[in-house]
Amino acid sequence: MKLHTAAILIIFWLGIFAVHTAKGSVGSRPMRKFSCVNLSTRRLNIQNLVSYEKQQNPVDAVMFINSKGIKICVSRDQKWVQTAMNKIDQKRTTKGK
């Protein structure tokens, strides 16, 4: 009787393992990309910005990433946004040299 119960438990755990392996662990799944939905209306301090990404969907925006890793979305059509993007691009080319 004990052998029968042990065999059932082993089959059960092998089934769980197989399902978990087929789905993949949480660490192996691709992360969802952060996208802008709400836009900040505040002007950001350009000195604190380290990177940016352009986005068109679901809204036309620029996502700035500051030195703390915080992502802030703003409208592209503001003059300071273009200036900030140019400054970040200049920093990138200077570091690459």
**Domain range list for the chain:** 2-96
Residue 88 has a pLDDT of: 95
Residue 17: enclosing H or E segment and its boundaries? helix 2-23
**Of the ranges 19-28, 56-65, 88-97, the best mean pLDDT one:** 56-65
Distance CA 35, CA 60 (A): 10
Nearest of 46, 39, 48 to residue 72 by alpha carbon: 39
Nearest of 35, 34, 65, 63 to residue 49 by alpha carbon: 65
Instruction: Reply yes or no on whether the pLDDT at 6 is more than 80.
Output: no
Residue 29 has a pLDDT of: 52
What separation in angstroms does the CA of 44 have from each of 7, 25, 57? Answer: 63, 38, 22
> Please, which pLDDT band fits residue 91 given cuts at 50, 70 and 90?
confident
Q: What is the pLDDT of residues 33-64, one digit of tens each?
A: 678 888 998 999 999 999 999 988 888 899 99
Which CATH code fits 2-96? 2.40.50.40
